[in-house]
Structure 1
Amino acid sequence: MNLNLLAISGSFLAGVATVLGAFPILLGKRISPKMQDVFLGFSGGIMLAASFFSLLNPAIDMANVTFNRYFAVALVSLGLILGTFIFLIVDRFIPEDYFLRIYENGNSKILKKMWLFIFAITVHNFPEGMSSALGFLTGDFGKGISLATGIGIQNIPEGLAVAMALYVNNFPKKDIFLITFLTGIVEPVGGLVAILLFSISHYILPIGLAFAAGAMLFVVTKEMIPEIHKKGYETQATVGLMLGFILMMILDNLFS
């Protein structure tokens, strides 16, 4: 099967998994703050493991085939720095929790502009979509499957977090479903961008893999880890993070 088709399919399925996380909210279930932190830590663990095992390692291996090891490491480092820097800039102007703070302030005029909220979440989901696609573009089908599966699994608690944020701000269930779906469906858009940018030449694919890794590492350390330390359940959340890391490590080795 065409690698580009596999890449876009993997990022699509990983993104759609976000909707699964909204089901407990749509069914009227309440998730305790402790479990929210555990799930968020679990997601962070998957993203951390995916960054190392599924993105950085293949990037270095691919670069070593084409370049000497010193230039290969420098190239991957450049991609890592670029991914971190770009999302640092994005976060500076569009932090993920900015619009949630607006909702808490109760400005009814801004509340109606739900597309702004969608846009903020969408921007931060891009690296996951890119990562799902790039896993297949390495040519390693098993690597692509494990990465898309891991990101799909971590998207479930991410969908729960989005749905919960909307639920506590009194959004109707149909809007909760729609917005959660849209935040997930943007991932194949990120996958398409990755295909267009990094399938041009195998020489720049290692930069793309490292770029996605840098973006994911930034999201985990800047957004997710600080969040799971706010409510006093950091120990439980850390256990969740370790379990997520182990699961992604297992998936990566099973399918490789």
Structure 2
Amino acid sequence: MEDLLMGSILSAMATGVGALPILFFRTVTHRWRDILLAFTAGIMMAAATFSLIPQALSKDSFLIVCLGVLTGMLVLTLLESIIPHIDLEHSRMNLSMDTQAILVLSAITLHNIPEGLSVGVSYSGDQNELGGLIAFAIGLQNAPEGFLVALFLINQRVSRLKAFFLATMTGSVEVVSAISGYYLTNVVDGLVPYGLSFAAGAMLFIVYKELIPESHGDGHAGAATLSFITGLLVMIGLTEWLK
């Protein structure tokens, strides 16, 4: 339980770490943003395919893993249909500043729920180091997200300190959802493989639907591709090292 709390808190705090530079400067080049997003995509891809799915397969059938992965994908698809995607850097929605800021914060907070569940479910397995790897992967994804949310809020004339605080708080929901996922899968033991594959499906959705397209949208596909492969290899190396 202590490992779960530490992992989920550090993963959630990564949102605030990512937002921290906003206190000192207000811009980041598209090239470096795309490289960071692609590296994060590689990390999450490896975590899903080389850690979560093999662990789920070792506990139950291929059918259960398929159901879990598809459910994770469908849940995030449902969230996206309820909450419209907002380009944090190029938003053109006809909303007032306050309303738009609330919508962005609500969307990011809700999208963090399945990420927290992924961390909690990962800690419920037999291999405790899996939880640390998934928390690390989710934390990497949270860092650029925190920066972009804080940057968006500053562009909406929110003070830097308030933007940093609000961006950091969007990650706090992950701690609650991680604890919920952990206890749910521990109370009902048969949910562990389903939960692991659900987490994998959610992470794969984020990679293919959000991170990869965003990292290729500004003409830096070559650098982003190299960064993606580097992130993939780094996560595989960490997985092997912690075995």
- TM-score when normalising by structure 1: 0.86
Quick check: 1:79 aligned with 2:68?
yes
| Aligned position for 2:27 | 30
Which is worse superposed, 205-214 or 8-17?
Answer: 8-17
C-alpha distance in 1, partners of 2:85/2:13?
20
Q: Residues 127-206 of structure 1 correspond to what in structure 2 (within 5 A)?
A: 127-206=114-193
Task: Decide which of 50, 57, 63 is 1:53's aligned counterpart.
Answer: 50
Counterparts in 2 of 1:168 and 1:232: CA distance versus 1, 3 Å: farther
C-alpha distance in 2, partners of 1:128/1:200?
20
| Aligned position for 1:249 | 236
Give the SS at the match of 2:218.
Answer: coil
Deviations 1:113-153 (A, max 9, x none): 63332110012222221222222211212222222223223
Structure 1: state its 5+ residue gaps.
64-71
Deviations 1:33-86 (A, max 9, x none): 1111111111111111111122111111122xxxxxxxx000111111111111
C-alpha distance in 1, partners of 2:46/2:170?
22
| Aligned position for 1:12 | 9
User: Contact conserved, 1:163 with 1:176, CA < 8 A, in 2?
Assistant: yes
Quick check: 1:116 aligned with 2:103?
yes
User: Contact conserved, 2:89 with 2:148, CA < 8 A, in 1?
Assistant: no
Give the SS at the match of 1:62.
Answer: coil
| Aligned position for 1:69 | none
The one-letter amino acid paired with 2:231 is G
Deviations 1:181-227 (A, max 9, x none): 11221211220231243222221110001111111111111112111
Task: Decide which of 210, 216, 225 is 1:229's aligned counterpart.
Answer: 216
Shift of 1:101: 8.6
How big is the alpha-carbon RMSD for the aligned residues of Structure 1 and Structure 2?
Answer: 2.1
User: Contact conserved, 2:18 with 2:146, CA < 8 A, in 1?
Assistant: yes
**Matched residue count:** 243
Deviations 1:149-176 (A, max 9, x none): 2322332223223233333444321222
The one-letter amino acid paired with 2:239 is D
User: Contact conserved, 1:103 with 1:169, CA < 8 A, in 2?
Assistant: no
C-alpha distance in 1, partners of 2:114/2:227?
22
User: Contact conserved, 1:96 with 1:124, CA < 8 A, in 2?
Assistant: no
- TM-score when normalising by structure 2: 0.90
User: Contact conserved, 1:163 with 1:180, CA < 8 A, in 2?
Assistant: yes
The one-letter amino acid paired with 1:124 is H
Which is worse superposed, 167-176 or 202-211?
Answer: 167-176
C-alpha distance in 2, partners of 1:102/1:43?
22
User: Contact conserved, 1:96 with 1:121, CA < 8 A, in 2?
Assistant: no
Give the SS at the match of 1:107.
Answer: coil
